[in-house]
Amino acid sequence: MNQKNIKQLTIVQVIIILFLVYYLPQFQFSALQKVSKAEQQPQSQTNLLKIQNQQQKKLASETNLKLNTDKNQNKSKTNQKDQMTSQATRLPSLFISHGLVGETLNPDTQLFKCLNKYTKDNKLQSRIKTAIIISGHWEEKQVTVNLNPHPKVVHDHPSKWLYKFNFSLDTNVELAKQIHQKLLDNKIQAKTTTSEDIDHGGWGGLFCLYDINEQQKAFQSNTKYAPQIVQVSLHSGMDTAFHYKIGQILEQFRDENTIIINSGASTHSFTYMNHPQFTAWSKEWEKYLIEIVTNKDEQKRRDAIVAIKQHKMYNYMHHSDDHFMPLLVALGTSKYPGELICLEQQFTFMCSCYSFQ
């Protein structure tokens, strides 16, 4: 090979080397980019699918949550509606200040007119089939349920014009037994009796729901018109919290045909009733009671009424506890505040009556 050929070959080699040095890396990089894009494309599609799946799951979860929320809200609304319906249809629990029974049952007195108007406005007379009665005149060392099938009306009062009511009432014995068992189930040491009749606090509280003609029709002319009764005694210990609990137990027996009559007195003081300031004291006391009974906060109502004996006026308004305990029972029979239905003066003292839904 001559020198000219060697020189030409050398030039060619230099060109090739330059080509390899400059262009080959760019070619490889471009190829790598294509490979990288080719590899990334499936990965991007996979990530996109994952994101779509996550979004679908989230949407499904939110949809289920909304459906469950709507379902729970509808269920809650249904329960509230049922509760309101039950509350609206069941008969009330009443606290009645029976006062001097001869006056309370006198059709010409304001207290009788007020109570009778309330019961007529609410059409109670035709609905009452059974009356659970708690009287301030019956207390025992153990809470007692009367199983006497035909308790007689007892005239333990001086109002002779009422002596014409001389008959017996019928006990709802089956319901009385259920109440006795429910008391035992709630750790109340309760007993039964078959020898108790019905005092003027018991029948007086029931009679004042009827006008004089209805009284004769319902309770004297033909006893088939009269509601059956169940009598439950007070406990002689006169503990406020205990009697509130009795009311909570009795609430379970309230329905559209069963009324609870808690017969006592908001003011009952033979000791001070002739004091010249007693009427003013009684009005102040009644104002305080109304604030308690109508308070919308259930816990505050309970706390205040359970502590009532500590109030400075209590012993002036009550010479004993027996006539006040029925109000404790009445408050226990409802989770709702009481409604003042009557506030009338009888002689020197005030008489308030309440309805509990």
Residues 157-178 have pLDDT tens digits of: 999 988 988 889 999 999 999 9
Decide: pTM greater than 0.85. Answer: no
Most distant CA atoms of the chain, gap in Å: 163
Task: Please give the average per-residue pLDDT across 240-267, as a whole number.
Answer: 98
3-state secondary structure of 242: helix
* 242 or 16, greater pLDDT: 242
pLDDT of residue 38: 47
pLDDT band at 226 (very low <50, low <70, confident <90, very high): confident
Collect all residues with Cβ–Cβ distance below 8 Å to 324 and sequence separation of at least 6.
136, 264, 265, 266, 268, 308, 318
Q: Which residues pair with 255 in a beta bridge?
A: 258
Query: Does 85 score more than 50 pLDDT?
Result: no
pLDDT of 234 reads: 99
| Sheet with strand 228-231: strands edge to edge | 228-231, 130-135, 258-264, 93-97, 349-356, 339-346
Residue 29's pLDDT is 46
**Helix (H/G/I), strand (E/B), else coil: 79:** helix
φ/ψ of residue 158, rounded to 5: -90, 0
pLDDT at res. 94: 99
Q: What is the mean pLDDT of residues 241-264?
A: 98
Dihedral of alpha carbons 62, 63, 68, 72, sign: positive
Continuous segment of H or E residues that includes residue 349: strand 349-356
Burial class (CB in 10 A: 0-12, 13-18, 19+), 259: buried
- Measured CA to CA, the distance from residue 259 to residue 205 in angstroms comes to 12
Distance CA 261, CA 88 (A): 18
- Cα 314 from Cα 326, distance rounded (Å): 15
Mean of the per-residue pLDDT values of the chain:
85
Query: Is residue 111 within 8 Å of 99, Cβ to Cβ?
Result: yes
User: Which pLDDT does position 122 carry in this prediction?
Assistant: 94
* Beta carbons of 163 and 209 less than 8 angstroms apart: no
Provide the pLDDT for residue 67.
56
Q: So what's the pLDDT on residue 310?
A: 98
Lowest mean pLDDT among 55-69, 191-205, 210-224: 55-69
| Nearby residues of 276 by Cβ (< 8 Å), 6 or more positions away | none
How far apart CA 273 and CA 239 sit, in angstroms, is 24
Predicted local confidence at residue 165, as pLDDT: 82
Q: Dig out the tokens for 96 from the structure.
A: 């009645």
Give the count of alpha carbons within 13 A of 274, CB side only: 2
For residue 293, pLDDT over 90 is answered with yes
Over residues 25-56, the pLDDT tens digits come to 555 545 445 544 444 444 555 555 666 666 66
What is the tens place of the pLDDT at every residue in 259-276?
Answer: 999 999 999 999 999 999
**Which residues, 6+ apart, have CB-to-CB distance to 258 below 8 Å?**
90, 91, 128, 129, 130, 131, 132, 175
- List helix spans (H) across the chain: 3-89, 101-104, 110-121, 173-185, 200-207, 212-215, 240-250, 278-293, 298-306, 314-317, 325-332
The residue-averaged pLDDT of 3-11 equals 54
Q: Is the pLDDT of residue 141 over 70?
A: yes
> What average pLDDT does range 291-315 have in this prediction?
98
Q: With the C-alpha atoms ordered 282, 288, 289, 291, is the resulting torsion angle positive or negative?
A: positive
Taking the C-alpha atoms of residue 104 and residue 115, their distance in angstroms, rounded to an integer, is 9
Calculated CA dihedral for residues 269, 273, 279, 283, nearest 10 degrees:
0
The pLDDT of residue 132 is above 50: yes
Closest CA to 89 of 119, 115, 124: 124
